[in-house]
Structure 1
Amino acid sequence: MKLTVVGGGSTYTPELVDGFARLRDTLPVEELVLVDPAADRLELVGGLARRIFARQGHTGRIVTTSDLDAGVDGADAVLLQLRVGGQAAREKDETWPLECGCVGQETTGAGGLAKALRTVPVVLDIAERVRRANPRAWIIDFTNPVGIVTRALLRAGHRAVGLCNVAIGFQRKFAALLDASPAEVHLAHVGLNHLTWETGVRLGGPDGEDVLPRLLAEHGEAVAADVRLPRPLLDRLGVVPSYYLRYYYAHDEVVRELRTKPSRAAEVAAMERELLEMYGDPALDEKPALLARRGGAFYSEAAVDLAAALLGGGGSPYQVVNTLNRGTLPFLPDDAVIEVQAAVGPEGPVPLPVPALDPLFQGLVANVTAYEDLALDAALRGGRDRVFRALLAHPLIGQYEYAEALTDRLVAHNREHLAWA
C-alpha cells in the first residue's frame, strides 16, 4: 500500500507518521511519500519520520520528494494538508478582517474566503495529476476550508472525502468524561465543516442509548469551557456546538478578544520554528510534546481510520466525514457538502440518516451553504464581483459596506495568488 502526503513538510506530519506507525495493523503502509516544495523543511520532517518508524519497528519505506507527479504515481490514497501562502498568508487572513470589525479567522468569514480562493485552484490541479497517475486513488482532504475544498473536488468528479478532527476530538473528550472507550461513543454530528453540532451522544453505536442529556447535566461546565461558550447557552440549546460556533454566537466578543492579543498565526509561526529546530535533532525519534499545542489533535487516528476504510483494510464502520449531501439534509441541494456520520467503505462514504434539524440550526446551515456555493464560484471563475457576493452572503459579514471594504482588502493582500486580480 502506497500513501502520499501532499504538504508533507508540514510540522503536522510527525503526528500523522506517529499514527501510521502505531496503527500499522489497521493501515499497513508499505510506502509513505512526503511531497513538499520546501526542500529544507521536507528534509527535517522526513528525517524525523524515518526515526519514528524505526523506533516503533515499522518496516515501511519513507520517501521524500518535491516532485508531485513522482510522489503521487501509483498511490492508493493521497492526503492533502497544504497551506498556499504559508503562515504569512494566514497572518493576513487573521488581521485585515479585524480592520472592518469582522472576525479574522483562517477558515471562516472573510479570511476563510481568502484561503479558499488561494487553495481551490491549487488543489484541483493536484487532483487532476492524481487522477492521471491512478484514477482509483482516494483523495483525503484535510486542507481548510475543508467543506469548500471537498465540494470543489467532488464537483470535478474526483474520488474525494473531506476530513476534520473536530468530531474525533469530541469523541475522545466525551469518552473520558463518560468513563467509556472512544469506540463506544457514537456522535450524532451534523452540519457543515466548522459549523456543526453534537445533537446526540450514543453509547454502543447509532442505535445505542443517547447520553447527551446526562453528559450536559453532569459535565456541562467542562463541555462549555472546552467550546468557550456559556453553560446556560448549552443547556438552552440542548446540544454541543463546535468551538467554531463561537464565531457566530459571540461574534463581537471574539472580535474584541482578537484585537487585544497576538494572532494565532503568529503563535503558530513561532511554534513551527521551534518544532523544526527539534526535528533537526538526530536523537529525536518521537513526536515532541510541543506538537500537541500546534493543533490537529487526533488527526492521525482519524486519517488512519478513514484511509483504512476507503482502501478496504478495516477502519471503523461509521466515521464523521465531509461528503455529498444527497438528500441527507432535505433543505440543502444534493451537491452540497455536509459533515455527518457516514458508513465508509471502498466505494466511499454513505451518510447515515439524520433526524430533522432544529430550525435554529437549519437556518444557519442553509445560509452558510449558500455562501460556500458563492465562494466556490469565486474560486473557480474569479472576479471582484463574485468575491463581493460571497462576502455579502456570509452571515458573519452581511452588510454591503463591510463586504465592499473586505473585498478591497482581500484582493490587495492576495493578488499574487489570484490569477484574475
Structure 2
Amino acid sequence: MNKKEFTITIAGGGSTWTPGLLKALCKRKGTFPLKRVVLFDNNPERQEVIGEFAKVLFKEEYPTVDFEYTTSPEVAFTGTDFVFCQIRTGGYKMRELDEKIPLSLGAIGQETCGPGGFAYGMRSIGDMIKLIEEVRKYAPEAWFLNYTNPAAIVADALKKAFPNDKKILNICDQPVNLLRSYGRLLGMDSSEFEPVYFGLNHFGWFTNIYDKNGVDLVPKLKDITLNSGFKPADAEQRDQSWLDTYAMVRDMLVDFPDYMPNTYLQYYYYPEYKKAKLDPEYTRANEVMNGREKRVFEECREIAARGSMGESNVVHNDAHGEMIVEVAESIAFNENRIYIVIVQNNGLISNLDDDVMVEVAANLGINGPRPFGVGKIGTFYKGLMEQQFAYERLTVEAWFEGSYAKALQALTLNRTIVDAKKARKILDALIEANKEYWPTLR
C-alpha cells in the first residue's frame, strides 16, 4: 500500500540551512513521500538563490515533486500539511549586534545565551505570532514544527499566544547533534539510543543514554570525554569556534560530573571565562557570514547557473535537516519515535512549576508528543533552571506588556550578567539597536 504524499512548507526558505533540509527530503522520499514543497520567505532576493538551487536538486533527485518558492502566505500555506519554521528576524546583521553590543559592555555576546538571546527573542516573538496566524488562516490543521531560536523564549511566547493550539511543536537540533557526537565517540549508531534528558532549551542534561540492550552508555561517555576530550560528530567540517565549544564539555564534566551537559551550559557555568575568550571585533556572526553564509550562496548560484548538482558539497551537515524531516515522518505515520522536545512541564519534573516550558524526551506520533516524566531533580539543577526560566518568562512578559521594568529584571537574573547596573546599560543599548523590531518598552 502506498503511503500518503504530503505537502511541506519551509518558512525561512532563504536560510543557509535550507539546502541541507531539501537534501534530507530527497534522501527520505522512500519513507516520507511528498507531492509538493514550497519555500516561503519575506526576503525574495535571498530566497531566490536557494529556490533556483532547489529546482536543480529536485529535477535530479526528486522529479515528481511539485516545487515553488514564494513570498505569498496564501500560496505558501494553503493545503500544506507541515510547516518547518527556521526564520531569523533581523538577519545576520542583527545577530552581529546581539553579539557585539554585550561584549562592548562587559557581558557575553552569544546568539541565544545571555543578552544576545534576549535581543533575538524580543525580535522573534512578533514575527512568530504573525507567521502562525497566517498559517492558521490558510492551513488550520497543519503541523507547525518550530526550531527558530531562541527556542525557549519563542516556545513560552507561543504557548501564551496560542494556548489551545495542539499542533505547534517546538524542538531543537542540538540534542540530536550531541547524540550523534556520542555515537561517534562510541562507534555506535545514535539512532538506536534511548536518551533520558531534562532541562530547558540550550540548558539541559543527559542523565542516561541506553543502547538497544538497555545498557546505560553515560558512564563510558564520561570516561572517554574526561580522558580524550569531546568533538562534534562532523568535527572535520566545523568552524574552530564550534570545536572550542564542544571541547568545553570536558571542563563541565570535571566540575559537575553528574550528567552529560548540553554544550550551551558553558556560557552559564563560566560566563567570565567565556567572555574573555570571545573576540569583540570578530564574533561568531562574522565567522558565519564570511564562512558558511558565503560558501552556501556561492555554491547554490553555481549549481543554478550550470543546471546540475555536479560534485557540489553545498550540503555539509545533514543533522539539522534530517532531524526535522524524521520528526515530521514520525508524526505523519504515528511512528512514536523518541525525540527531545519542548513541552509544558505539568509534573514531568516533579519539583518544578507546572507552567515551565521544559525540554525532555518524548514519544512523537500523530497526536503530538507523549513526554517521559523525569521525577525530582537535585537542588543545583533546580536552582539553575528556575533562575533561567524566570529570565525567559520575564522576557516574554516584557514583550507582551511593553515593560521596561520586566526587561531589566530579566537581564539582571540572567547568569551571564547578574549585575543590575550592567543589565541597564546593556538593555538601553539593545533598545536603541532594535527600535525597528521591538515593541516600545516603558
Shorter-chain TM-score bucket reads over 0.9
In the other structure, the counterpart of 1:274 is: 295
Q: Distance in 2 between matches of 1:123 and 1:182?
A: 32
Matched, 1:411 2:431: yes
Q: Does 1:62 align with 2:70?
A: no
Aligned-partner Cα distance in 2 for 1:223–1:142:
29
Measure how far apart 1:259 and its partner are. Answer: 3.0
- Counterpart for residue 235 of structure 2: none
Contact 1:118 1:417 in 2 (8 A): yes
Contact 1:82/1:143, CA 8 A, preserved across alignment: yes
Letter in 1 for 2:248: L
Q: Could you say what secondary structure the match of 1:417 adopts?
A: coil
How far apart, CA to CA, are the structure 2 residues paired with 1:388 and 1:288?
48
Do the aligned residues in 2 keep the contact of 1:21 with 1:58 (CA within 8 Å)?
no
- Counterpart for residue 211 of structure 1: 217
Query: Corresponding residue for 1:305?
Result: 326
- How far the C-alpha of 1:261 sits from its partner, in A, is 6.0
Q: Does 1:228 align with 2:247?
A: yes
Q: Is the 8 A contact 2:397 2:403 kept in 1?
A: no
Q: Is the alpha carbon distance of 1:379 and 1:266 closer, same or farther for their aligned partners in structure 2, counting shifts above 3 Å?
A: same
141, 164, 175: which is aligned to 1:167? 175
Q: Is the counterpart of residue 24 in structure 1 residue 29 in structure 2?
A: yes
Q: Which residue of 1 aligns with 2:109?
A: 104
**201 and 261 in structure 1: CA distance in 2 versus 1, 3 angstrom threshold:** farther
Q: Is 2:209 the partner of 1:201? A: yes
**Cα 1:182–1:225 shift into 2, 3 Å:** closer
Matched, 1:179 2:179: no
- 1:91 Cα offset (Å): 0.2
In structure 1, what is the equivalent of residue 309 of structure 2? 285
Q: What's the CA shift for 1:330?
A: 2.2
SS at match of 1:59: coil
Report the CA distance between 1:291 and its aligned residue: 5.1
Tell me how far apart the structure 2 counterparts of residues 124 and 177 of structure 1 sit (CA, whole Å): 40
Q: What one-letter code is carried by the residue in structure 2 that aligns with 1:285?
A: M
Are 1:394 and 2:419 an aligned pair?
Answer: no
Q: Quote the residue 1:154 is aligned against.
A: 159
- Alpha-carbon displacement from aligned partner over 1:173-224 (angstroms, at most 9, x marks no partner): 212222222222122221111101111111028xx22121122223434454
String of CA shifts for 1:97-144, please: whole Å, max 9, x gaps: 112211111111111111111110110011111112122111111110
Is 2:346 the counterpart of 1:326?
yes
Task: Say whether the 8 Å CA contact 2:350–2:374 is kept in structure 1.
Answer: no
Aligned to 1:237: 257
**What SS does the corresponding residue of 1:411 show, helix, strand or coil?**
helix
SS of the residue 2:224 aligns to:
helix
Structure 1 position 310, deviation (Å): 2.2
SS at match of 2:410: helix
Question: C-alpha separation between the residues in 2 aligned to 1:257 and 1:329?
Answer: 34
Larger mean Cα displacement after TM superposition, 46-55 or 95-104: 46-55
For the structure 1 residues 28 and 290, does the alpha-carbon distance in structure 2 shift closer, same or farther, using more than 3 Å as the test?
closer
Q: Report the number of matched residues.
A: 415
Hey, what does 1:126 align to over in structure 2? 131
Q: 1:4 to 1:412 in 2, by over 3 A?
A: same
Identity of aligned residues (%): 29
Deviation, structure 1 residue 50: 2.3
**Cα gap change, 1:336 to 1:288, in 2 (>3 Å):** farther
Distance 1:234 1:270 in 2: 33
Aligned CA distance change for structure 1 residues 355 and 263 (closer, same or farther; 3 Å): same
What TM-score comes out, normalization by structure 1 length?
0.93
Q: Alpha carbons of 1:291 and 1:384: their partners in 2 closer, same or farther (altered >3 Å)?
A: farther
**2:368 paired residue among 342, 348, 356:** 348
Distance 1:104 1:301, change over 3 A: same
**Pair 1:253-2:273 in alignment:** yes
- 1:251, distance to aligned residue in structure 2 (A): 1.2
Give the direction of change, closer, same or farther, for the CA distance of 1:386–1:142 in structure 2 (3 Å limit): same
Query: Which runs of no fewer than 5 residues in structure 2 stay unpaired?
Result: 1-5, 233-245
Q: Which among 373, 380, 383 is matched to residue 360 of structure 1?
A: 380
C-alpha separation in 2, matches of 1:40 and 1:258: 32
Contact 2:350 2:375 in 1 (8 A): no
Distance between the aligned counterparts of 1:97 and 1:213, measured in 2? 38
Name whichever of 361-370 and 378-387 sits farther off. 378-387
- Cα distance between partner residues in 2 of 1:88 and 1:63: 27
- Tell me if the contact between 1:165 and 1:297 (Cα under 8 Å) persists in the aligned partners: no
Distance 1:95 1:302, change over 3 A: same
Structure 1 residue identity aligned to 2:309: D
Deviation at 1:287, TM superposition (A): 9.3
Q: Which residue of 1 aligns with 2:403?
A: 383
Deviation by residue 1:16-61 (Cα, 9 ceiling, x = unmatched): 0011110122321211110012212212101212222233245212
CA contact (8 A) 1:167 1:189 kept: no
CA distance in 2, matches of 1:366, 1:220: 29
1:76 and 1:136 in contact (8 A); partners too = yes
Structure 1: segments with no counterpart, 5+ residues: none
User: TM-score scaled to structure 2, two decimals?
Assistant: 0.88
After TM superposition, give the deviation of residue 154 of structure 1 in Å: 2.4
Partners of 1:194 and 1:242 within 8 A in 2? yes
Tell me the SS of whatever aligns to 2:436: helix
Q: Which amino acid aligns with 1:82?
A: I
Contact 1:18 1:286 (C-alpha < 8 Å) held by counterparts: no
CA 113–330 in structure 1, closer or farther in 2 if over 3 Å, else same: same
> Aligned partners of 2:429 and 2:285: how far apart in 1?
18
